[in-house]
Copies of this chain bind each other. A is one copy, B any other.
């Protein structure tokens, strides 16, 4: 059971997540990504470097352009990790917690308000 810690750190940045979501529909060069996302070109290059070091993307040079695309392996690993966790939480922890929560009438709500907005 590998822990995809680095993958989480890489995808935590909104710009890098935006890059990955744009690469879902196919490979793109740096300039296309820089104009799509509202970040300057050196910023995109730096984020792509981080994504490449983490093994999330691969490069293909064509002329003076460099096309980046997703590598499937880290997403397979991530899927395995999350999928297992999903079934663990669906199985028993959830039920146990809600059961006990119902029998504590005076306690405050276990549900959070909202995330950042």
Q: Which residues of A contact B (CB under 8 A)?
A: 3, 5-6, 8-9, 11-12, 14, 17, 20-21, 23-28, 32, 52-55, 58-63, 67, 69-73, 75-76, 78-79, 82-83, 85-86, 88-90, 93-98, 100-102, 104, 107, 110-113, 115-117
Q: Separation in Å of the A93 CB from the closest CB of chain B?
A: 5
A26: contacting residue among B20, B90, B97, B115, CB under 8 A? B97
CB contacts (< 8 Å) of A24 on chain B: these are 85, 88-89
Interface pair B54/A97, CB less than 8 Å apart: no
Interface pair A115/B82, CB less than 8 Å apart: no
Assembly CA distance A83 to B75 (angstroms): 8
